[in-house]
Structure 1
Amino acid sequence: MFGLDKTTMITADQALPGRDTELEVAPTHVVLGTALKGPWPEGMKVLYVGMGCFWGSERIFWQLDGVHATAVGYMGGWTRNPTYEETCTAKTGHFEAVQVVYDPAAVSLDTLLAAFWENHDPTTPNRQGGDIGTQYRSAILATEPEQLEAALASRDRYQARLTEQGYGPISTQIGMAAEAGDGVFYYAEDYHQGYLHKNPGGYCNHGFCQVSFA
């Protein structure tokens, strides 16, 4: 349609228009039993990450103590309330994102960032294994300046570890959530939420990768 392959990021004026109606999801997390869209208890914080296919990424985080809720969706692009099929065309600008709602008194941001860095390959732009396209790009989107500062510092620390082991440069997109695309996290279709709990034998290419963050 635009003469672009799936590894080339589109611009806002090239994005599909989408729709005003949100995709429907269940009210509660299938594993954690907490509200999928909130409201969340006082003191909870939110971080968004992209690690390739969001099925495996979400499971990594819902298994961590101190994580209150997770959800999968689309972020960093411009199409309103995109469908999975639209996102797969690379014409929405979104990546497959995981919303991580966590209690900072129960789990440290360093623990969340370690889970992020260690369980995917941040050195392959717009690709995780055989999954290729901008929807699979590595990303950390913060909701407060302190998160952004910690994410950038963690990138530098992990890059040093990777370089020691002969790996290339990190390509992870790091920024504030409000400044990525239209700044909106769009919930994915309900069948994607908690996918690997609903489908224990489902596709997952996540696991410990490369080197330890610590």
Structure 2
Amino acid sequence: MFIRAYLRASTKEQDALRAKAQLEDFAKEKGFPIAAYYVENESGASLKRPELFRLLSDCSPNDTLLIEQVDRLSRLNEADWEALKREIDGRQVRIVALDLPTSHAMLTNSDDPFTGRMFRAINSMMLDMLAAIARKDYEDRRRRQAQGIEKAKATGRYKGRPEDADRNAAITRMLKAKASWNDIVKATGCSRSTLLRLSKRLKESERAA
């Protein structure tokens, strides 16, 4: 059995490695080394997470997917959570989360088949519950954010997200140098919608010159 640790943060500004020491301490306490780390900055509300699926593709039956909290694995809606669970179950991967004590028993093999089945059933139920709570927390935060924006717009106080002037200037220089969009995305981490907006702005300024 290999333990594979998954570390995720939602944005590039957040530190996805923040919980690495906690995972290392937990695995050491249980007497298991961590075979590999899979780190990415992607939303937990999306299934488009290359490192998570690379981890699963690397797994053999009975390997363990170790996470700090269930919400690092999922803030997914119900349909996407069920799809991810099918992938995990199909590969016979065990999920262990530091914030889910019932999952810690997954690191031991019970000689009693009944006890093993009971632990798996309880752990599955608790995973579902915490995944549902994580999704609700995500939706509640999004709703409060939207309400705050609407209120700010109504009072004329909404200015939107401040522009990253230094990054956008660097992107504009790369566009002027005819760098490919793929290379710009890799170098700066910007979205294609930002690239499109800056490309249009550059063309307009060149026409006006």
Q: Give your verdict on TM over 0.5.
A: no
* Structure 2 length-normalised TM: 0.25
Greater C-alpha Rg: 2
Structure with the higher fraction of residues in strand conformation: 1
Structure with the higher fraction of residues in helix conformation: 2
